[in-house]
């Protein structure tokens, strides 16, 4: 009837409270305030959910504002540990106690309750719609307790487990990874059985390419195990490597050493083989890890995660890797900035973009776009160009390092080289889009591009004409995404000019754009490709999962001794650093 009734206790006419039965029975609650009135109404009307809006975030386990106070996401009446009732100081606010009592009474009567803050201005939506959509807002009172720990508890376990992992010997971390590789082959049957369940449930609901990505096989598991052993081998030199040593003064020595970043959140789509690989990378770099996989791979992910924990437990660090319950929204995870140090989305560039948008205050490692260019110089070799263009565009057009825009020097128009490129593209069935300048040179031009800043990710290519190396560079700076850009030329001077001036993560000379890849670069395992300018840039190996810390060992050194009238002078003498293992 489009009517929202408002019922309010702020009225002179209230029945007297029933003594001694207050809040005790299922059917009796004396109405003293809006909280008890709301609980009574909710239960009598058999509602599913009662929302109690307050001016605090919800129920805290200690007085809000104290050092240890944490918002309780879900409260179970059976869970005695969470909060002590009756003592006002533990609950935090006087008014909160009445709300909690009313909530518990309503819960007994079959109505779940959310206590949340109704005073926040929201970016989009509203607290009520957020609650109705099941988002994590305020404190949810529920009879049903989930089996596992909360994501906050998982974050703490990953943090402390990761810290323990980081203090193991490199050989011990390698041992864990080798053990995980063994388990992948030894427990093959169990893994494939779980994977079969996922495939059966996904049948008909997922498209064929997605089903293929979801499916595991003996050969996939074998090559996964081989990859893991490579990670184990490359992990020896990662954590605790000394990057810099300085003698600051007599008996005062400074060391900069590599350490893990902390806790990583890795979000991956349907491919369950991602899990052991990411786990091995985290173990090798000594990081705690929160894994969030796709719902469609639940069974596979669960067993693979158990195996990772089994491997970790040989050195007592089982908890360093946590699989986050699929009920947690990715968006909610991206907001836990005190718990997570780096987010790594592994999947489509759409996934990366979504995560970058959702992440609040947590850095995201990844590339949102790969608009790669190849500039064919007037002095390019006829033999090389076609090969390079074909490999860059056609070998795997969906990859982020595939070619999107071909820049051709004007002098090459209407030459045999030009015809050769076009013929090859026809044979490979590449759809050509003409840049405005290219179109103006042709009598009958292919369709003009909508935007010179397009990532086709398919057998489509934009061709544009430029007058010089400099114009090619300007075009790349204007329309590129600073991912990978290539010059094809026999003129070394032009090539070096291009290499120095193009401001991209990867700049190549006479090589396919597709080399832009951690494995091909020889970085061992690849975490991903980053187009960020901060931290890791380009293909990222294990080093992208490390940061540094500074260790200073003195005797009783104080800075005032080094002041203008002090007795000491800074030496700042660089000391030799152990050389890196070169194969």
Taking CB under 8 A as the criterion, which residues in 133-192 touch a second copy? 163, 167
Residues 458-497 that bind a second copy (CB under 8 A): 477, 479, 495
Judged by CB under 8 A, the chain residues 253 through 272 that form the site for a second copy are: 254, 259, 261-262
Question: Which parts of 274-333 are beta strand (E)?
Answer: 288-292, 321-323
Q: Nearest 5°: CA angle at 144, between 143 and 146?
A: 145
Contacts (CB under 8 A) with a second copy, residues 345-384: 356, 361, 363, 381, 383-384
Strand 573-575 relative to strand 242-249: parallel, antiparallel, unpaired?
antiparallel
Q: What are phi and psi of 267, to 5 degrees?
A: -110, 120
User: Closest distance between a second copy and the C-beta of residue 127, in Å?
Assistant: 14
Which residue among 201, 328, 395, 428 contacts a second copy (CB under 8 A)? 395
Half-sphere exposure at residue 331, Cβ-oriented, CA atoms within 13 angstroms = 8
Q: Which of 10, 20, 81, 582 binds a second copy (CB under 8 A)?
A: 582
Does residue 120 sit in helix, strand or coil?
A: coil
DSSP string, 123-173: SSS-HHHHHHTT---SEEE-SPPPSS--HHHHHHHHHHHHHHHHHS-HHHH
Q: Residue 378 carries which DSSP code?
A: T
Q: Which residues pair with 255 in a beta bridge?
A: 245, 551
Site for a second copy in 72-131 (CB under 8 A): 121-124
Residue 453 binding a second copy, by CB under 8 A? yes
Report the chain's C-alpha Rg in angstroms. 31
Write the binding mask 290 to 329 for a second copy: x where contact by CB under 8 A, - elsewhere. ----------------------------------------
Which of residues 234 and 309 has its CB atom nearest to a second copy in the complex?
A: 234
The answer to whether 567 contacts a second copy (rule: CB under 8 A) is no
Sequence-distant (≥ 6) Cβ neighbours of residue 99 within 8 angstroms = 35, 52, 54, 115
Per-residue tokens: 377? 């110089």
Q: What is the 3-state secondary structure (H, E, C) of 340-364?
A: CCEEEEECCHHHHHHHHHHCCCCCE
Q: Does 434 bind a second copy (CB under 8 A)?
A: no
**Count of residues that interact with a second copy, criterion CB under 8 A:** 84
Work out whether 528 is an interface residue with a second copy (CB under 8 A). Answer: no
Binding test (CB under 8 A) with a second copy, winner from 2, 10, 555, 567 = 555
Are the CB atoms for 536 and 530 separated by under 8 Å? yes
Q: Which stretch binds a second copy (CB under 8 A): 37-45, 144-152, 304-312, 571-579?
A: 571-579
In the structure encoding, which two tokens stand for residue 454, read together?
């397009």
To the nearest whole angstrom, how small is the minimum distance from the Cβ of residue 53 to a second copy? 19
452 binds a second copy (CB under 8 A): yes
Binder of a second copy out of 92, 161, 276, 539 (CB under 8 A) = 539
Q: Minimum CB separation from a second copy for residue 37, in Å?
A: 32
**Binding to a second copy in span 504-523, by CB under 8 A:** 504-512, 514-516, 520-522
CB of 139 to a second copy, least distance (A): 23
Binders in 17-76 for a second copy, by CB under 8 A: 66-67
Cα 481 to Cα 531: distance, rounded to the nearest angstrom: 8
């Amino acid at each position: 009837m489009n009517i929202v009734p408002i019922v309010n206790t702020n009225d002179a006419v209230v029945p007297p409270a029933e003594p001694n039965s207050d809040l005790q029975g299922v059917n009796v609650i004396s109405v003293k305030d809006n909280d008890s009135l709301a609980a009574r109404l909710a239960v009598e009307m058999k509602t599913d959910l009662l929302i109690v809006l307050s001016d605090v975030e919800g129920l805290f386990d200690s007085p809000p504002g104290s050092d240890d106070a944490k918002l309780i996401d879900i409260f179970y009446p059976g869970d005695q540990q969470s909060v002590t009732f009756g003592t006002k100081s533990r609950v935090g606010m006087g008014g909160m106690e009445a709300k909690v009592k009313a909530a518990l009474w309503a819960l007994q009567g079959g109505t779940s309750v959310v206590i949340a803050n109704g005073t926040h201005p929201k970016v989009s939506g509203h607290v009520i719609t957020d609650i109705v959509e099941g988002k994590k807002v305020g404190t949810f009172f529920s009879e049903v307790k989930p089996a596992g720990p909360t994501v906050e508890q998982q974050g703490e376990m990953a943090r402390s487990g990761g810290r323990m992992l980081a203090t193991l010997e490199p050989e011990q971390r390698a041992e864990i990874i080798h053990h995980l590789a063994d388990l992948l082959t030894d427990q093959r049957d169990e893994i494939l059985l779980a994977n079969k369940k996922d495939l059966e449930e996904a049948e008909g609901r997922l498209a064929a390419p997605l089903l293929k990505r979801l499916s595991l096989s003996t050969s996939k598991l074998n090559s996964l195990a081989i990859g893991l052993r490579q990670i184990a081998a490359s992990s020896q030199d990662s954590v605790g490597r000394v990057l810099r040593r300085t003698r600051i003064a007599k008996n005062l020595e400074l060391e900069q050493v590599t350490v893990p970043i902390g806790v990583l959140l890795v979000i991956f789509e349907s491919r369950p083989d991602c899990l052991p690989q990411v786990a091995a990378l985290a173990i090798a770099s000594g990081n705690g890890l929160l894994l969030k996989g796709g719902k469609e791979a639940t069974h596979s992910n669960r067993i693979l995660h158990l195996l990772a924990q089994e491997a970790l437990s040989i050195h007592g660090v089982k908890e360093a890797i946590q699989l986050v319950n699929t009920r947690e929204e990715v968006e909610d995870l991206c907001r836990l900035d005190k718990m997570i140090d780096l987010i790594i989305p592994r999947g489509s560039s759409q996934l990366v973009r979504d995560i970058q948008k959702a992440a609040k205050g947590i850095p995201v490692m990844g590339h949102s776009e790969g608009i790669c260019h190849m500039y064919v110089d007037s002095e390019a070799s006829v033999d090389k160009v076609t090969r390079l263009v074909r490999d860059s565009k056609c070998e795997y057009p969906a990859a982020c390092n595939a070619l999107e825009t071909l820049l051709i020097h004007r002098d090459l128009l209407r030459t045999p080289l030009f015809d050769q490129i076009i013929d090859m593209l026809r044979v490979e069935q590449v759809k050509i889009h003409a840049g405005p300048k290219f179109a103006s040179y042709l009598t009958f031009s292919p369709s003009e591009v909508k935007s010179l800043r397009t990532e086709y990710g398919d057998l489509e290519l934009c061709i544009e004409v430029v007058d010089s190396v400099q114009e090619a560079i300007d075009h790349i700076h204007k329309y590129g995404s600073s991912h990978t850009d290539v010059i094809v030329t026999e003129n070394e001077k032009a090539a070096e000019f291009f290499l120095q001036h193009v401001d991209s993560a990867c700049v190549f000379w006479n090589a396919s754009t597709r080399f832009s890849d951690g494995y091909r670069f020889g970085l061992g395992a690849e975490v991903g490709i980053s187009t960020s300018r901060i931290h890791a840039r380009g293909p990222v190996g294990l080093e992208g999962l490390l940061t540094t810390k500074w260790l200073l060992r003195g005797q009783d050194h104080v800075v005032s001794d080094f002041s203008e009238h002090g007795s000491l002078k800074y030496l700042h003498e660089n000391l030799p650093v152990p050389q890196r293992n070169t194969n």
